[in-house]
């Protein structure tokens, strides 16, 4: 029985022709999608001052978020490129002349598409919603953590631990300041002004990667306090004055969007609420949208084989261009279906699976034309 399922040489050859371009196209598409997020990551590093560990974590989370979109497109590109090369080199003609039909060539790719669809389901229904929640909480924490700006020499710097600070001279090597002016209005109705000849900043390690703290030591200065409640003014001279300044980690509470819910959370919410409510319709639509997009590699299999067997001078360029055109058409149909489905007039599963049926019909049509 096992010998019937053992891969033959032709199966291994066809899988090798498709698997390599599939991995390469997936990595390329991830690179393209992540290129648009570089400014976002740069902002986290430059403006918010987050560490490399957080940046790497954000990079991995973003990569996971883009995989459900990259994998189906990459699979279509791989099929088009693999069969396009076989067709342009007349290898398909040789295989057919040897008695290997196009349907027989499709058999190992059916197993591959099964793996791709299973991976797409796992990503869309479980892994990506979880990554969405983690990344959203991470960005919210960073955003709620107030920015600690670098002190600029000879200018007033705001946002430095909620203080307004001025330093005539700044030595970044030794973290020392000369002729320092600090205005502190963290206490309402009781502003505080500190003037000192010298200052030194000593970083203090915190328990969280999103919080920061320093010990600011000032020498030879004075503290000026204006108590507005009691209409009084105080001045205190000092030789040494130490300020412990800390920015605490921001919060991470947020409301769950449909794309942040796993399939278990969606089904639980649907069972506990009114089936005709707006939230339930949105969740059902989003669930079936994910299911439909996870199933699209099946349609892409027949489309890729049917269109890939047409000889072209530039197989790779035409494969990539054609894959984006077909994927864009699928997204347009799915977007229109989403608008109609959320009104609750037409059954949501039917509305969301129509684009898959259309692509499958077109794919089977071209597949039959290529079979002989």
CA 189 to CA 226: how far, in whole Å?
8
- Residue 207 has what pLDDT? 63
Residues 308 and 211 in one domain: no
37 CB contacts (<8 Å, ≥6 apart)? 62
136 shares its domain with 260: yes
Could you state, in chain order, the average pLDDT of each consecutive group of 10 residues for the chain (372 residues)? Answer: 59 90 93 84 67 82 91 90 84 83 88 94 93 81 54 79 85 85 79 90 67 81 80 86 73 66 90 86 91 93 83 57 79 87 83 91 85 64
Name the phi and psi angles at 298, rounded to 5. -65, -45
**Residue 62 lies inside a defined structural domain of this protein:** yes
Question: Phi and psi (nearest 5°) for 48?
Answer: -90, -15
Same domain? For 132 and 198 the reply is no
Question: For residue 206, which phi and psi values (nearest 5 degrees)?
Answer: -115, 170
How many angstroms separate the CA atoms of 66 and 129, rounded?
Answer: 12
Do 179 and 138 sit in the same domain of this protein? no
Q: What is the pLDDT of residue 142?
A: 66
pLDDT score for 2: 39
pLDDT of residue 3: 46
Which residues does residue 169 pair with via DSSP β-bridges, in sequence order? Answer: 178
State pTM to two decimals. 0.71
Report the C-alpha gap between 371 and 212 in whole angstroms.
Answer: 66
Does a structural domain hold residue 149? no
Q: Is 194 exposed, middle or buried (0-12, 13-18, 19+ CB in 10 A)?
A: buried
Q: What is the dihedral of CA 45, 49, 53, 54, to 10 degrees?
A: -80
- Whether residue 134 is found in the same domain as residue 280: yes
Q: Which single residue is written with the structure tokens 């099946």?
A: 298
Q: Report the alpha-carbon distance of residue 21 to residue 74 in Å, rounded.
A: 8
* Distance (Å) of CA 244 to CA 72, 201, 215: 53, 10, 5
Distance CA 308, CA 83 (A): 5
Order of strands across the sheet that contains 232-247: 156-160, 163-171, 176-184, 192-204, 212-227, 232-247
Q: Indicate whether 266 and 348 sit together in one domain.
A: yes
Instruction: Identify the CA nearest to 210 among candidates 255, 159, 163, 146.
Output: 146
**Which of residues 221, 247, 273 is at a domain's end?**
247
How far is residue 93's CA from residue 84's CA, in Å, rounded to a whole number?
A: 12
For 236, other C-beta atoms within 10 Å of its C-beta total: 11
User: Within this chain, do residues 38 and 134 fall inside the same structural domain, yes or no?
Assistant: yes
Number of domains in the chain: 2
Pair 241, 280 in one domain: no
- 57 and 84: one domain? yes
Residue 313 vs residues 78, 80, 83, 152, 360: alpha-carbon distances, Å: 17, 13, 14, 59, 26
Instruction: Tell me which residue range forms the domain holding 86.
Output: 9-144+255-370
Residue 151 located in a structural domain: no
Verify that 22 and 126 share a domain, yes or no. yes
Q: Say if 4 falls within a structural domain.
A: no
Q: Which of these three, 247, 265, 294, is where a domain ends? A: 247
What letter does residue 345 receive in the DSSP assignment?
S
Q: Is residue 2 part of a domain?
A: no
Both 301 and 359 in one domain: the answer is yes
Judge if 165 and 98 occupy the same domain. Answer: no
Let me know: does 300 contact 72? Beta carbons within 8 Å: yes
Single residue among 207, 224, 247 that ends a domain in this structure? 247
Confirm whether 150 is domain-assigned.
no
Torsion angle, CA of 89/95/98/99, rounded to 10 degrees?
-150
């Amino acid at each position: 029985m096992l010998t019937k399922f053992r891969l033959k040489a032709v199966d291994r050859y066809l899988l090798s022709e498709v698997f390599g371009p599939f991995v390469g196209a997936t990595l390329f598409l991830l690179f393209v999608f992540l290129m648009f997020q570089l400014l976002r990551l740069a902002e986290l590093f430059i403006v918010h001052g987050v560490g490399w560990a957080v940046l790497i974590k954000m990079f991995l989370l973003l990569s996971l978020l883009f995989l459900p979109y990259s994998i189906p497109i990459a699979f279509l590109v791989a099929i088009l490129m693999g069969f396009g090369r076989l067709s342009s080199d007349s290898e398909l003609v040789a295989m057919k002349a040897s008695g290997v039909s196009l349907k027989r060539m499709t058999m190992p790719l059916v197993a591959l598409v099964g793996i791709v669809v299973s991976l797409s389901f796992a990503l869309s229904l479980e892994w990506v919603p979880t990554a969405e929640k983690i990344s959203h909480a991470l960005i919210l924490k960073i955003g709620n953590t107030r920015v600690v700006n670098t002190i600029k020499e000879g200018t007033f710097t705001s946002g430095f631990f909620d203080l307004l600070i001025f330093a005539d001279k700044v030595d970044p090597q030794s973290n020392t300041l000369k002729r320092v002016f600090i205005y502190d209005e963290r206490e309402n109705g009781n502003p505080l002004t500190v003037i000192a000849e010298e200052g030194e900043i000593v970083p203090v390690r915190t328990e969280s990667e999103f919080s920061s703290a320093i010990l600011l030591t000032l020498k030879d200065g004075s503290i000026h306090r204006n108590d507005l409640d009691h209409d009084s003014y105080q001045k205190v001279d000092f030789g040494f004055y130490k300020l412990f300044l800390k920015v605490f980690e921001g919060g991470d509470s947020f409301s769950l969007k449909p794309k942040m819910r796993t399939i278990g959370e969606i089904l639980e919410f649907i069972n506990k609420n009114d089936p005709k409510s707006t939230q339930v319709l949105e969740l059902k639509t989003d669930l079936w949208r994910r299911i439909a997009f996870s199933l699209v590699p099946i349609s892409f299999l027949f489309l890729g084989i049917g269109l890939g067997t047409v000889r072209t001078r530039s197989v790779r360029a035409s494969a990539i261009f054609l894959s984006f055109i077909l994927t864009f058409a699928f997204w347009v149909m799915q977007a229109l279906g989403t608008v109609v489905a959320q009104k609750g007039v037409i059954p949501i599963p039917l509305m969301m699976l129509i684009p898959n049926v259309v692509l499958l019909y077109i794919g089977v049509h071209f597949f039959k034309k290529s079979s002989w």
